[in-house]
Structure formats: structure tokens, C-alpha cells
Amino acid sequence: MANNLYDPSAYKPSQTALMFLDYQNLLVNMVPDPTNKTLIKAAETLLAAARKNNVAILHCISDTNAEPAATNKVAATWDAQYKPIFSANPELGAEYAGFAPTQESTSRETAHTRPPGLRSVLTDEVVVYLRDHLGVRHLILAGIATSGAIMGTMSQGTDINFVVSVVADACWDPNTQVHNDLIDTVIPSLAWVSSVEQAVGYMTG
């Protein structure tokens, strides 16, 4: 175990949380072949390791039944573009079934929602849950989109003194160049970019 507190390996699995961000059906369905197979396999591998080692798992999605704040620019397109899609097919707003909690999930696997337009999933309630209830100091992020929930949560997480790892193969963005620039250049300046194997290692000690 590392002595440097900025290093993910300094934290035990009990101090680590796997955070699945916006793996909602609408977004997962957008991922093209063969990238979707890589993404799903990576996420399934992370999930299996977390469940096996009783690592905290937070499933975080946008609440498609809620409204964005009036001051959020998403409000400009929500009613016309997104709300009709989710109204016609609410299942598109649900988490991808292969990742969702099951009846066998423990109390350390929980689901959290936030209003549309918030990139970071680290609401006050979630931060208190992670820090005070679970004792978590290290966050492993996986989800869609790299420029959305991943970037937003990574930025806020590092600002409030979490150690953050982003699993590259478990993230996707509709703009490949943006994804690559964030993974290769922007995120490594603030957080850790991890392979699936490295992230599994953090969860197994």
C-alpha cells in the first residue's frame, strides 16, 4: 500500500467506491460497435470485482422525471428535445439492466438520482454518504459521457479532496476526439486514468 495520500493504492477497498455514472439506456444504446462491447465488458468486470470484495457501489443517473434548474442551459432544450423522448419511452431513462442492482445486492450498493443538467453526481447528500457513512476516500469512475458526468464528477471530486480514478475503457463520449483529449491530457492533470485491471486491483487490495 502506497504512503502518498494522492495515490489510489494508499486506500483499502473499504475506503473505495465504484461509481457508475449515467449508464442509462438512451446513452448506452448510442455507443457503436465494437466500442459498446468493450465498454460493457469493462463495466461488468468492475462491477463483479466490487461485488465480490464488498466495495461500495453507487449507481448514479439523471432523474428524467425531474426538471433542470431554470438557470441551467439544458432547460433551453429539455422540454422540446429530451422530455418527449423519455415521456414516450421511460425505459430509456433507466439504468442499463445488466449493470443495475439485483436482489442479491448488499446495502453497500445504492442508487442515486440528480436533476438533469447537473454533470457532477456529488450532491451534498452523496458526499455525506460517501465520507461520513462509508468512510470512502477514493472514487473509481465509470460512465457516460466522458465530457459530462465523468468530467464533472472528477473535477468536483478532486476539488473536495477525494482521490479519483477514471477507468478509460468504461467511459465513452459521442465525440471521440473530445474523449481522447480528456483521457490523454486533461484528466491526468487532476486525477488518475486507470485500466480495468488497475481498478480491479484497487478493489481487491
C-alpha atoms less than 13 angstroms from C-alpha of 88 in its C-beta half-sphere: 8
At 153, the amino acid letter reads T
β-strands 138-144, 16-21: how paired? parallel
CB 167 within 8 Å of CB 19 = no
Per-residue model confidence as pLDDT tens digits over 172-205: 999 999 999 999 999 999 999 999 999 999 999 7
Q: Which helix (H) or strand (E) holds 74?
A: none
What CA–CA distance (Å, rounded) separates 158 from 150?
A: 12
What CA–CA distance (Å, rounded) separates 142 from 151?
A: 11
DSSP E strands, the chain: 16-21, 56-62, 109-114, 138-144, 163-172, 192-194
CB 13 within 8 Å of CB 139 = no
Please state the pTM of the whole predicted model: 0.96
What CA–CA distance (Å, rounded) separates 44 from 136?
A: 22
pLDDT interval class at 103 (50, 70, 90): confident
| Four-CA torsion 25, 95, 99, 138, nearest 10 degrees | 120
Mean residue pLDDT of the chain comes to 96
pLDDT at 1 over 70: no
Per-residue model confidence as pLDDT tens digits over 105-155: 889 999 999 999 999 999 999 999 999 999 999 999 999 999 999 999 999
Rounded CA Rg of the chain: 16
